[in-house]
Amino acid sequence: MTDKNDAEKFRDLPTPFYFYDLDILNATLNTLKKESQNSGYKIHYAIKANPNPRILKIIASYGFGADCVSWNEIDASIEAGFDPSEIVFAGVGKTDKEIDAAIKANIFCFNCESIAEIEVINHLAAKLNRTVRIALRINPLIEAHTHKYITTGIEESKFGIYTWELEDVFKKMARLKNLTFSGLHFHVGSQITRMSVFRSLCTHINELQEWFSARNIDIKTINVGGGLGIDYENPEKSPMFAEYFTLIHEIIDLRPGQEIHLEPGRSVVGQCGTLISRVLYIKNGSNTQFAIIDAGMTDLIRPALYQAHHKIENLSSKGNIYRYDVVGPVCESSDTFAKFIELPETRRGNIIAIRSVGAYGEAMASRYNLRDLPRAVFSDEI
């Protein structure tokens, strides 16, 4: 999407804004649909990656389910057309009000993260005279080899139930009459690019299956979670759905009647989004030049929060190559998108594209410094 015509196309639009390329989004969704149909796996799109209402509507139109981590996400996904019976609800801190609303909305399943939570869900279900499906989120103690803030399946992590607690969990659950045990849930982290991490997870799942069959506990759903990474160096590259699905198919020993569920977020929406901004000033630093742009960490917090790298392009210039620190206007030194990167000679007014920002970009925007929230522009609107 980033040739010189795009600079023309964006020139008269107020910046910054998220530009969503619907051809890329639809191509990704078509691949995901094809792969999930071939394998028979159920997809629950992780809403938190990008809950833009138009994006949600498009994803829902493919017939996928949704993975939500708050009642507001459940509400937004139902509004966008996701079927409540295809919605799963995860999170370590579901409030009573959220649980109550989700029970009334008839969602598919609660992915539970502690014994305390399971007891509260049972209590609230009993008050409504209902039986609800739960899955246990298991902490598989697997290192995801990604940034520590997005690693979720290691011992010090707040997420999930340890396998050594399972005996106790099932003893307690035997008394809880308003719950139906549906299966297991996992999510070991995000932006996972090493297939070996998923291989370890699938092997761990096979071992756990033995534990359950030895106790005659029936597992219907095995939810492998999300986490499949994208190539931030190559924004044109599609996520590796085929390899990922094949690996799961080859390793997990599915028993009769069992279903695999997946919760991809980043891989679905990451490559369709670009943050478009304008250069405000060029300023000399001691070893570098600063290109100060009108987008900041309030629009895209990933570099400040996770030291994330996004490919940055100057769409307006074909000049000689120089080095720049690309920074935003917010009053924080962490408001830096990239340090000492090569760009063609950059001037005030040039259009700058920050690529691969469709996931955890607009979704995490804030109004710090009382800045405006970024707008969204879709490829069929300009």
Ligand X SMILES: *Cc1c(COP(=O)(O)O)cnc(C)c1O
Strand 259-262 to strand 221-223: parallel, antiparallel, or no bridges (unpaired)?
parallel
Tokens standing for 156?
């010090």
Candidate segments 6-14, 31-39, 198-206, 257-265, binder of ligand X by CB under 6 A: 257-265
How many whole angstroms separate alpha carbon 40 and alpha carbon 259?
Answer: 8
Candidate segments 10-18, 46-54, 172-180, 250-258, binder of ligand X by CB under 6 A: 46-54
- Give me the residue label for tokens 């005030």: 348
Smallest distance from ligand X to CB 86, Å:
15
User: Could you tell me where the DSSP H helices lie in the chain?
Assistant: 4-10, 22-39, 53-61, 71-80, 96-104, 115-127, 166-173, 195-214, 241-251, 266-269, 302-306
Q: Say whether residue 51 binds ligand X (CB under 6 A).
A: no
Candidate segments 45-53, 167-175, 272-280, 346-354, binder of ligand X by CB under 6 A: 45-53
Residues between 158 and 197 that touch ligand X (CB under 6 A): 187, 190
Q: Say whether residue 261 binds ligand X (CB under 6 A).
A: no
Length of the chain: 382
Indicate which single residue of 73, 263, 294, 313 sits in contact with ligand X (rule: CB under 6 A).
263
**Given the complex with ligand X, which of 244 and 337 has the nearer CB atom?**
244
**Given the complex with ligand X, which of 112 and 352 has the nearer CB atom?**
112
Smallest distance from ligand X to CB 292, Å:
30
Contact 125, 132 (CB under 8 A): yes
How many whole angstroms separate alpha carbon 310 and alpha carbon 234?
Answer: 9
From the number of C-beta atoms within 10 Å of its C-beta (0-12, 13-18, 19+), residue 33 rates as middle
Tokens standing for 48?
């938190």
Indicate which single residue of 51, 264, 273, 361 sits in contact with ligand X (rule: CB under 6 A).
264
Indicate which single residue of 183, 225, 273, 303 sits in contact with ligand X (rule: CB under 6 A).
225
Smallest distance from ligand X to CB 269, Å:
9
Residues 6 or more apart whose CB falls under 8 angstroms from that of 310 comprise 232, 275, 300, 302, 303, 337, 338, 354, 355, 356, 357
Indicate which single residue of 16, 183, 226, 358 sits in contact with ligand X (rule: CB under 6 A).
226
Q: Say whether residue 117 binds ligand X (CB under 6 A).
A: no
**Given the complex with ligand X, which of 269 and 315 has the nearer CB atom?**
269
Candidate segments 77-85, 92-100, 262-270, 289-297, binder of ligand X by CB under 6 A: 262-270
Indicate which single residue of 51, 153, 265, 374 sits in contact with ligand X (rule: CB under 6 A).
265
Write the CA distances from 241 to 107, 112, 139, integer angstroms: 26, 27, 24
Q: Say whether residue 94 binds ligand X (CB under 6 A).
A: no
Q: Say whether residue 46 binds ligand X (CB under 6 A).
A: yes
Contact 334, 244 (CB under 8 A): no
Q: Say whether residue 153 binds ligand X (CB under 6 A).
A: no
How many whole angstroms separate alpha carbon 237 and alpha carbon 355?
Answer: 12
**Given the complex with ligand X, which of 90 and 112 has the nearer CB atom?**
90
How crowded is the C-beta side of 115, counted as CA atoms within 13 Å? 14
Q: Say whether residue 90 binds ligand X (CB under 6 A).
A: yes
The footprint of ligand X (CB under 6 A) covers: 46, 48-49, 67, 69, 90, 187, 190, 225-228, 263-267, 359
